[in-house]
Amino acid sequence: MGSAMDPKPEITIVDDAAALADTAARVVVEIATESVKARRRFTVALAGGGTPRTTYERLAAPPLREQMPWDRTWIFFGDERGVPPDHPDSNYRMANAALLSKVPIPAGQVARIRGEADDAEAAAAEYARVMTEVFGSRRGELPCFDLILLGMGIDGHTASLFPGSPVLKEVFRPVAAVHAAAASIPQRFTFTFPLINAAARVMFLVAGSEKAKVLKAALAEPGSGLPASMVRPTSGRLTWLLDRPAAALLPKSR
Ligand code: 6PG
């Protein structure tokens, strides 16, 4: 492990997307079990996009479903698209179909971002308020998630933090409404870096050869302009869980 201020990212490479889902789901159960032992609850933010779906399906099936402390689990979303929860592009919809509708988690412990909101700024502020309430955070204090799951796009975006977006410089708000011109659904809601970097554990799930080039750049230059490389937990652990095709361009010495 690197310095407490800048922990060196841990990189785990597995054979393929199926192995990545197996490993990711097992790690989620481990962290959930440890968190409940230590703090009597597990707080996790789910990633959107396509890569995490299989991980969620693994968690919703035996044996892992029975090993998860669902009654003490709180679920949030790291980002959402500006669409209703039943829209095909809704991250909530994906997670609900793959996981939430299949496990005994109390409905009150699933906090979704109101992607359908007309007033996006108000919806982002509302989500931050709900989070602060659940965590019991004092004013100005950032909630510390036990685990934040993230993906990465081929442009190096993560959550809905896109290259060149002003939100990359956000230092106060934990959640922001953003307009991502490059995205299929430009209206987005996203965790900001202060909130992501305040987490105890952050885990990237990255699969597929199409991600190899940007992954190499993101890992080669931490803190470079690529949003994914700006994820640097202040004192938490950062794990990159990769499949072999995505890791193909990484220096062997790693
Ligand atoms: C989103 C995601 C986004 C995602 C990447 C990777 O809402 O789109 O949160 O950050 O993780 O775009 O997406 P894939 O896993 O589908 O490649």
- The pLDDT of residue 7 is 63
Q: 53-72: per-residue pLDDT in tens?
A: 999 999 999 999 999 999 99
Nearest CA to ligand 1 atom 11: 151
- 189 by Cβ neighbours in 10 Å (0-12 / 13-18 / 19+) ranks as buried
3, pLDDT greater than 80: no
79 lines ligand 1 (CB under 6 A): yes
Identity of residue 45: A
Cα–Cα distance for residue pair 206/21, rounded to 1 Å: 10
C-beta neighbour count of 113 within 10 angstroms: 30
Which spans in 110-252 are helix H? 120-135, 193-196, 212-220
Confidence of residue 140 (pLDDT cuts 50, 70, 90): confident
Question: What number does the ligand 1 atom closest to the CA of 80 have?
Answer: 7
User: CA 6: distance to chain centroid?
Assistant: 19
Torsion of CA 51, 205, 208, 94, to 10 degrees: 0
Cα–Cα distance for residue pair 39/228, rounded to 1 Å: 29
- The pLDDT of residue 2 is 46
Cα–Cα distance for residue pair 218/196, rounded to 1 Å: 17
Percent of the chain with pLDDT over 90: 90
Q: 155-187: per-residue pLDDT in tens?
A: 999 999 999 999 999 999 999 999 999 899 999
Tell how far the Cα of 152 is from the centroid of ligand 1, in angstroms. 6
222, pLDDT greater than 80: no
Percent of the chain with pLDDT over 70: 96
Question: What number does the ligand 1 atom closest to the CA of 91 have?
Answer: 7
- The pLDDT of residue 199 is 98
- The pLDDT of residue 252 is 81
Cα–Cα distance for residue pair 218/195, rounded to 1 Å: 20
Tell how far the Cα of 203 is from the centroid of ligand 1, in angstroms. 14
**Contact (Cβ atoms closer than 8 angstroms) between residue 243 and residue 209:** no
Confidence of residue 139 (pLDDT cuts 50, 70, 90): confident
Tell how far the Cα of 21 is from the centroid of ligand 1, in angstroms. 15
- The pLDDT of residue 138 is 87
Tell how far the Cα of 73 is from the centroid of ligand 1, in angstroms. 23
73 lines ligand 1 (CB under 6 A): no
198, pLDDT greater than 70: yes
Q: What angle do CA 194, 200, 206 make, to 5 degrees?
A: 80
Mean pLDDT, the chain, as a whole number?
95
Identity of residue 228: A
243 lines ligand 1 (CB under 6 A): no
List, as one string, the DSSP characters of 3-68. -SSSPPPEEEEESSHHHHHHHHHHHHHHHHHHHHHHHS-EEEEE--SSTTHHHHHHHTSTTHHHHS
**Contact (Cβ atoms closer than 8 angstroms) between residue 185 and residue 83:** yes
Kind and range of the H or E run holding 81: strand 79-81
220-245 burial code (b ≥16 CB/10 A, e <16)? eebeeebbbbbbbbeebbbbbbbbbb
- The pLDDT of residue 1 is 42
49 lines ligand 1 (CB under 6 A): yes
Q: 77-132: per-residue pLDDT in tens?
A: 999 999 999 999 999 999 999 999 999 999 999 999 999 999 999 999 999 999 99
Confidence of residue 254 (pLDDT cuts 50, 70, 90): low
Among the listed residues 113, 108, 102, the one whose alpha carbon sits nearest the alpha carbon of residue 185? 113
